[in-house]
Structure 1
Amino acid sequence: MVTGSRVTTRVWMWTSVMKLLVFAEQQTVGTSWEASNACVRRDTSMTTSPKLFECESRVCEEECVNTPGSFRCYCDGRQGKRLAQDMMRCEVIEDRLPLDMRRNSRSLYLGRMFSGIPVVRLRFRRRVQTGFTAEFDLRTYDPEGVIFFAGGHLSSSWIVLVMHRGKLELQLKYGAASRVTSSGPAVNDGQWHKISVEEQGRSLVIKIDREAVMKIAVTGDLFTMNNGMHELNLTVGGVPFREEGLVSKVNPRLDACMKDWRWLTGEDTSIQETIRHNERMQCYAIEDHSAFYPGHGFAFFNHSHGDNQTLRIQLTLRPASSMGVLFALVHQDRVPFSISLSDYHPTTLEWKEHVLVAFGDVIVASAAVDLCDSVTHTLNVTVTGNSSVLEVDDRPGRMESVENLQAIDLLSYSTFIGGIPDVSLVSTPISAFYTGCMDVRVNGRLLDVDDAQHKHNDIRSHSCPLVTTQQ
């Protein structure tokens, strides 16, 4: 008779996703048997087979999720990480194409603050009253925003030079009288234009490239008296009061570059020195017409797109990186829909550049294509119910075979461009921020990031650096 014997069986398991060889032991415990001349009696009390939870063994460098018979690793792209080819470690995301990020140290970038507050504030004080003069060179693709404000305070006399529909517009308030005047050619063509505003007697004269385009009669003075001194406040890139105080409402955010400025008699040497030592206040030396996403931060819109049945998304882009979220719909802590760039396919584990369309964490359409080639590409995605169609440069993408896919709710969501917020990594295949140029149209309407609910200050709405000339 043998009692309480212990049998050990070695089992080798091959996990389907991670291709990791796992060793475990199955133990048969408490088995006893007794032999007699008449019969054999076997009494098996219990057989146990412990479950394998690979994530408890810390096989992933960052996030780990157990799946039936296997596991899956995730890396936080929002921290600049991507999954390595061993599918467990995390690597730093590197740009494929270096952009020409050279700055012009003698230029001033007007769109640095998304809040629309001025980027420069000056105060001039005079013992003897003088007329107002301003001259500067301006370059922009942006059709709307504040260039500068000059005057006293909201209830006194002031002028605001703005860009509206691509043309210069002067809003002025002298006492109880207010006026809005616009004239001249469009100047949001990305070329440098010399702009000047000058008080000549009781008139304001505005010139573009030294040609007068507006002459406006005024009654009153922009300078105000304070303790025996004539004072004038001047702000650049915004107004010193809420935008509702303007004579005609405009979005104050202006993606524009200014250089060779002279305010009154040029008394702004301290500002020039400040700009020279602060790159964020400077413009890129060479720019193209597109929004720029720097690989950190996102823009989000908290409104619907006018159609709760169909979503038609067009992305015009020139990527500098092969990883990043281009477009996403977010509801609370979920990402019901996303369009991303990736250098691998999470389902097929194919290691090459892809465009991925996902419902949640499920890939529903894809295209194996490398877009990091310095050329502008166009992606079109149409979403209706639980189906989607992808086209890359007018070529159809591959439709993935997915069962029991739920339709997307096109009413309750926020739209994120260039990245996703702090949601779970497992809610979407890709979490990295996008790097490169991109314009987004939804149902035929351009999403101007100047109109977003929020955007990172380093995202530029209408100016994108070119690929470096060293390539």
Structure 2
Amino acid sequence: MAMFWKEMAGGLLLTLSLALLVRGAEGQGNGRDKKQVSGGATIYLGQDRDFWTPLIHTTVNLSDIRSIKSTFQLRTFDPEGAIFYGDTKDGLDWFVLSLKDGIPLMQISKGDVHVSVSGGPKLNDGKWHKLEVSNQGKFVVLEVDGSNGLVVGMQSEQTEEVLTGKLRLALGGILIDKEAMIVQFEPHLDGCVREGNWLNLSVPWDTEAEELWPCHQNVRPGSFFPGTGFAVFNTSVFPIEADRVVMAEFWGDFSKMDGTILSIRAPGQELMFALVANNTTEEVTLTFGEQRISVKDTLKKLAITFQADSLRVLQDEDESKTTSLSVGSESRPGYLNMWREGRLAVGGLLGDGEDDAGSQFLTGCLEKLQVQEKDLDLDLAVKHVSVSSHSCPA
């Protein structure tokens, strides 16, 4: 074993991590108030939890490791998020494989060596990609769909030690402080893994989830709201200058939506604004105070422009279908503040508490949402519940 670990210096830790990624979505109790997950099936990584907390994790003896190659398939439209994590020495030596800008990002910390490398093709195209990680001497090689995608070499001046003890593995999160990352990234990944072949080891993974969410067989780009949660933002995060026009644009099949699409509340004020789809009345209703605009739900795009003294609603880019509301700041003193200090919710109606309690949750798929002509990434919300941020069932 000593010679084995010496040959695997630097690269083995990453390879081992791939060994035990995902084994399926069937769980059973283990007598420790945790569910155990067996291998072989597909697992959805974007399930609700604290985003840095792994979805599943396990611990194995290093002496049980025999294989040095692992393969799995990944499918996502999400450009950024954690795939898996592994460490030895209770987190002193660690690695993370993630995506950033859709490209594989590998980070490794081992002794006095700290490495961060990204490269290879973009993987967030919604297609299944086969990834293989293997050790070749002092190099760790990530192959994507049969071609080299990323090669990492590591060498230390320190005397190589024989590794003993435990290896901790985690899927969809990390087990150390996020500040230890060499490159910071958003951890939540709306994606799936399947068909893993992980170092020929068969051990159970633990999960704190009562049940694991399944992956949809076919997906398309968008944000899916199952009717049980929403995403909340502080409006101060949007780069909006004083008195400047603000535009919010929505794409999707509104006839297949039901519930609150967007709501905004200014500090210390009643609900300022709500956009609600109703399958029963077959209408989409915009509410500002006592004023309302209703349109048929057959539209595919809705653009709402917030001006200093009015709201302008444009349907399907057809100027003949434009409606305006007068909402001057004199009659609504909190109107301008809602885009400076307020809260914005996508997929639910904001409550009046600071805990962002909501209701009337949206059911349906928003194909795209932009604020100030920039895509709104729901993963950046201060609260994010039961939303698939980058994919909808096809």
TM score, norm. by length of structure 2: 0.77
Deviation at 1:317, TM superposition (A): 2.0
Q: Does 1:127 align with 2:50?
A: no
Residue 252 of structure 2 is matched in structure 1 by 317
- Cα distance in 2 for partners of 1:224, 1:171 equals 20
Residue 173 of structure 1 is matched in structure 2 by 109
**What amino acid sits opposite 2:106 in the alignment?**
L
8 Å Cα contact 1:149/1:160 also seen in 2: yes
Alignment of 1:37-436 (within 5 A): 106-116=41-51, 117-127=53-63, 130=66, 132-152=68-88, 156-219=92-155, 224-226=163-165, 231-268=166-203, 270-271=204-205, 280-304=212-236, 305-307=238-240, 308-309=242-243, 310-319=245-254, 321=256, 323-331=258-266, 332=268, 334-342=270-278, 352-363=281-292, 365-371=293-299, 377-395=300-318, 396-399=321-324, 405-406=331-332, 408-409=335-336, 410-423=339-352, 432-436=360-364
- Cα distance in 2 for partners of 1:120, 1:256 equals 15
- Cα distance in 1 for partners of 2:249, 2:86 equals 41
SS of residue matched to 1:450: helix
- Cα distance in 2 for partners of 1:280, 1:159 equals 25
8 Å Cα contact 1:378/1:392 also seen in 2: yes
CA shift in 2, pair 1:107/1:330, >3 Å: same
Show CA shifts across 1:5-64 (max 9, x none): xxxxxxxxxxxxxxxxxxxxxxxxxxxxxxxxxxxxxxxxxxxxxxxxxxxxxxxxxxxx
- Cα distance in 2 for partners of 1:218, 1:207 equals 18
8 Å Cα contact 1:170/1:182 also seen in 2: yes
CA shift in 2, pair 1:224/1:115, >3 Å: farther
- Cα distance in 1 for partners of 2:60, 2:90 equals 17
- Aligned alpha-carbon RMSD (Å): 3.0
8 Å Cα contact 1:158/1:222 also seen in 2: no
> Stretches of 4+ moved more than 6 A in 1?
220-223, 401-404
TM score, norm. by length of structure 1: 0.65
Residue 5 of structure 1 is matched in structure 2 by none
Deviation at 1:154, TM superposition (A): 6.9
Residue 376 of structure 2 is matched in structure 1 by 447
Q: Which has the higher contact order (CA 8 A, sep 6+)?
A: 2
- Cα distance in 1 for partners of 2:324, 2:64 equals 75
8 Å Cα contact 1:151/1:223 also seen in 2: no
8 Å Cα contact 1:366/1:398 also seen in 2: no
SS of residue matched to 1:127: helix
Deviates more, 1:166-175 or 1:431-440: 431-440
8 Å Cα contact 1:154/1:245 also seen in 2: no
Q: Percent sequence identity over matched residues?
A: 26
- Cα distance in 2 for partners of 1:125, 1:166 equals 33
Deviation at 1:172, TM superposition (A): 1.0
8 Å Cα contact 1:203/1:218 also seen in 2: yes
CA shift in 2, pair 1:388/1:211, >3 Å: same
CA shift in 2, pair 1:402/1:306, >3 Å: closer
8 Å Cα contact 2:277/2:297 also seen in 1: no
Show CA shifts across 1:391-431 (max 9, x none): 1211324446889843612322011100023349xxxxx96
SS of residue matched to 2:121: coil
Show CA shifts across 1:288-320 (max 9, x none): 111111112110011422223222001112346
**What amino acid sits opposite 1:383 in the alignment?**
F
SS of residue matched to 2:50: coil
SS of residue matched to 1:283: coil
CA shift in 2, pair 1:400/1:156, >3 Å: closer
CA shift in 2, pair 1:362/1:202, >3 Å: same
Unaligned segments of structure 1, at least 5 residues = 1-104, 345-351, 372-376, 425-429, 467-471
- Cα distance in 1 for partners of 2:138, 2:257 equals 59
Unaligned segments of structure 2, at least 5 residues = 1-39
**What amino acid sits opposite 1:316 in the alignment?**
W
Residue 84 of structure 1 is matched in structure 2 by none
- Cα distance in 2 for partners of 1:388, 1:279 equals 44
Deviation at 1:152, TM superposition (A): 1.6
Show CA shifts across 1:364-384 (max 9, x none): x3323435xxxxx21100011
- Cα distance in 1 for partners of 2:295, 2:262 equals 16
8 Å Cα contact 2:254/2:298 also seen in 1: no
